[in-house]
């Protein structure tokens, strides 16, 4: 536990010390009795999204155990839980209930990776007066990059003793004379900075800095460039196989960029548009099988809870085979990403969409606002038309078509959220997300059933695994049916007269009122 840097003890005071200051520097006033030093090499862990850091915590391993500790203004505080172990990547790899609970919240599906290392040297010192009585205790702490290197951060914590408060004040005054300063921001931002790992907010829904009047090509180009830059930032994580979210986010960004090119028409010449869409489609299709395997593999712990215990042995066998297949496919995808230079393709598209060509007879130089508002209203009306044909008996294909239209509408509203009226449009987007979520649950269950059955027919089945596969298909079918029951209710709410009137008011009447 990094106790020496804590401010939790209200009776203590932490001070940041100048380089080179050592306990013996106080020896002119007090006799300094130094206790043995404790040297600890710590490795700090976090995710690509910095889930631990932004939750206000530190997670590190001191060579024997993982320690989850609160973090306030860069200073560690209360230790929440510890666990013996090493080389743990995911929350479910921990065994302690509290550690699993906390990290499941902070990590989600993300895997841990080392973000920094440091050597902590701690030394307790007694300050004695002329009579030999201890008048104050100090915990001295130094942080260095490696063993034997000069520390880059030194601090001390004063531990006053009852009856010697005046002496403690003298110690503080003397430290200030020697250059000590109040704690301020703690050492961990500096530690990460030295490691070249600065926490940053990662989001798939960035702001694009566009307005209603922004020319259409400029707006679309800016959005696509931003989204594809996010996609590219995930490639290293895919090839290193750090966690499945890298591939998931990479594919989402590719699909979003491809979709936008089809949602706002005539921004680029038809040939250029089709070229970009084809390139993005090829990059996405190259990862389809790996994503299918990922989705199945991620359901293991859920199925472990939902399936009866006699089927657990078969479940383990099935997922062992799935993971073996996934490793092979992951290596293949990683090789293709490197050899076929996905980054070069993405960078090429970003460069080309930034070029303003002579495509004047188009929507390229119109204001983006009216185009988007008309597009949103058109997509909503199409969903209303499809909704009239949906019922509990609708085919998977029909529900999938509805899901795709909902996704296109959501993309349009997310892309151009900056120019939408914030109050009412946010309500509409929440309704749309709920509807799309249940459509997604239904589609995922259907797709997983088909995938598992197709994959299983190629396997050499044993009795335990075959029984379990039957149970898995039954669970997925049940989930699909439950989702179907929820679809009609949410679809009815999203397409009723009140919601339709809101869409018309925002996206038709307001656009007309601007005179655009």
DSSP letters, 113-150, are EEEEEEEEEEEEEEEE-TTS-EEEEEEEEEEESSTTSP
- Looking up tokens 């669970």 gives 475
Return d(Cα 99, Cα 81) in angstroms, integer.
6
What is the β-pairing status of strands 31-34 and 75-84? unpaired
Share of the chain above pLDDT 70, in %: 94
Residue 511 pLDDT: 54
Residue 257 pLDDT: 95
Is the pLDDT at 514 greater than 60, yes or no? no
Chain segment 5-49, per-residue pLDDT in tens: 343 333 458 899 998 888 888 888 899 999 999 999 999 999 999
pTM for the whole structure: 0.85
Query: 11-15, 198-202, 499-503: which has the minimum mean pLDDT?
Result: 11-15
Residue 163 has which token pair?
């009856």
The pLDDT of 490-514, averaged and rounded, is 81
Share of the chain above pLDDT 90, in %: 56
Return d(Cα 370, Cα 364) in angstroms, integer.
13
Comparing CA positions, the residue from 455, 150, 184, 434 lying closest to residue 324 is 455
The residues near 472 (Cβ < 8 Å, ≥ 6 apart) are: 303, 307, 315, 318, 452
Chain segment 389-412, per-residue pLDDT in tens: 988 888 989 999 999 999 999 999
Residue 516 pLDDT: 44
Chain segment 434-477, per-residue pLDDT in tens: 999 999 999 888 888 888 888 887 776 667 788 888 888 888 88
DSSP letters, 344-368, are HHHHHHHHHHTS--S--SSSTTSBH
Residue 410 pLDDT: 94
Return d(Cα 510, Cα 338) in angstroms, integer.
48
Mean pLDDT in the chain? 88
- Which DSSP symbol is given to 505? I
Residue 272 pLDDT: 87
Buried residues in 155-183 as b, exposed as e (16+ CB within 10 A): bbbbbbeeebeebbebbbebbeeeebeeb
Is the pLDDT at 143 greater than 80, yes or no? yes
Comparing CA positions, the residue from 398, 279, 419 lying closest to residue 349 is 279
The residues near 93 (Cβ < 8 Å, ≥ 6 apart) are: none
Comparing CA positions, the residue from 187, 177, 179, 174 lying closest to residue 136 is 174
* Cβ proximity of 369 and 516 under 8 Å: yes
Q: What angle, 0 to 180 degrees and rounded to 10, lies between the N-to-C axes of helices 422-456 and 396-415? A: 140
Rounded to a whole number of angstroms, the distance between the first and last alpha carbons of the chain is 63
- Three-class SS state of 402: helix
- Three-class SS state of 371: helix
Is the pLDDT at 165 greater than 50, yes or no? yes
Return d(Cα 202, Cα 299) in angstroms, integer.
25
Residue 461 pLDDT: 66
Chain segment 69-110, per-residue pLDDT in tens: 999 888 888 999 999 998 999 999 999 999 999 999 999 999
Report residue 364 CA to chain centroid gap.
Answer: 34
The pLDDT of 359-365, averaged and rounded, is 63
Q: Strands of 248-325 (E only): list them.
A: none
Structural domains of the chain in order of their starting residue, each with its CATH number: 3-194 (2.40.320.10), 367-516 (1.40.20.10)
The residues that bridge with 140 in the sheet, in sequence order, are 123, 156
Residue 14 pLDDT: 86
The residues that bridge with 38 in the sheet, in sequence order, are 122
Residue 203 pLDDT: 94
Chain segment 289-330, per-residue pLDDT in tens: 999 999 988 988 888 888 888 888 888 888 899 999 999 999
- Which DSSP symbol is given to 84? E
* Cβ proximity of 326 and 376 under 8 Å: no
Tally of residues, the chain: 516
Return d(Cα 416, Cα 425) in angstroms, integer.
11
Residue 270 pLDDT: 84
């Amino acid at each position: 536990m990094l106790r020496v840097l804590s401010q939790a003890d209200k009776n203590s005071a932490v001070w940041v010390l100048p380089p080179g200051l050592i306990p013996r520097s106080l020896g002119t006033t007090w006799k300094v009795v130094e206790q043995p030093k404790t040297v600890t090499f710590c490795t700090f862990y976090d995710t690509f999204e910095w889930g631990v850091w932004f939750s206000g915590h530190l997670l590190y391993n001191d060579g024997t155990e993982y320690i989850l500790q609160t973090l306030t203004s860069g200073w560690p505080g209360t230790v929440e839980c510890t666990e013996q172990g090493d080389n743990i990547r995911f929350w479910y790899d921990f065994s302690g209930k509290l550690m699993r609970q906390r990290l499941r919240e902070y990590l989600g599906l993300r895997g841990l990776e080392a973000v920094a290392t440091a050597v902590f040297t701690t030394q307790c010192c007694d300050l004695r007066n002329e009579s030999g009585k201890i008048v104050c205790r100090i915990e001295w702490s130094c942080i260095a990059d490696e063993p034997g290197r000069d520390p880059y951060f030194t601090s001390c914590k004063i531990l006053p003793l009852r009856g010697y408060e005046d002496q403690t004040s003298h110690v503080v005054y003397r430290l200030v004379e020697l250059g000590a300063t109040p704690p301020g921001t703690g050492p961990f931002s500096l530690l990460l900075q030295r490691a070249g790992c600065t926490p940053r907010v990662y989001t798939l829904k960035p702001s694009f800095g566009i307005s209603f009047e922004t020319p259409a090509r400029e707006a679309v180009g800016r959005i696509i460039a931003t989204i594809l830059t996010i996609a590219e930032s995930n490639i290293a994580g895919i090839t290193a196989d750090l966690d499945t979210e890298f591939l998931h986010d990479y594919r989402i960004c590719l699909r979003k960029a491809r979709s936008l090119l089809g949602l706002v028409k005539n921004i680029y010449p038809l040939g250029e548009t089709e070229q970009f869409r084809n390139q993005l489609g090829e990059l996405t299709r190259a990862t389809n099988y790996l994503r299918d395997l990922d989705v199945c593999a991620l359901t293991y712990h859920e199925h472990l809870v939902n399936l009866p215990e006699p089927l657990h042995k078969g479940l383990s066998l099935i997922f062992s085979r799935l993971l073996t297949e996934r490793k092979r496919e992951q290596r293949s995808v990683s090789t293709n990403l490197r050899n076929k230079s996905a980054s070069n393709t993405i960078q090429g598209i970003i460069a080309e969409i930034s070029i303003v060509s002579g495509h004047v007879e188009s929507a390229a130089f119109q204001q983006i606002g009216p185009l988007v508002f008309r597009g949103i209203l058109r997509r909503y009306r199409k969903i209303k038309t499809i909704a009239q044909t949906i019922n509990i008996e609708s085919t998977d294909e029909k529900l999938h078509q509805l899901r795709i239209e909902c996704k296109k509408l959501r993309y349009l509203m997310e892309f151009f959220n900056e120019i939408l009226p914030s109050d009412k449009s946010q309500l509409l987007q929440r309704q749309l997300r709920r509807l799309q979520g249940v459509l997604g649950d239904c589609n995922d269950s259907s797709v997983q059933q088909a995938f598992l059955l197709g994959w299983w027919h190629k396997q050499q089945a044993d009795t335990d695994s075959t029984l379990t596969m039957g149970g898995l298909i039954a669970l997925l079918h049940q989930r699909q049916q439950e989702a179907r029951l929820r679809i009609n209710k949410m679809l009815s709410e999203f397409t009723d007269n009140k919601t339709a009137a809101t869409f018309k008011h925002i996206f038709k009447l307001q656009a007309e009122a601007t005179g655009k």
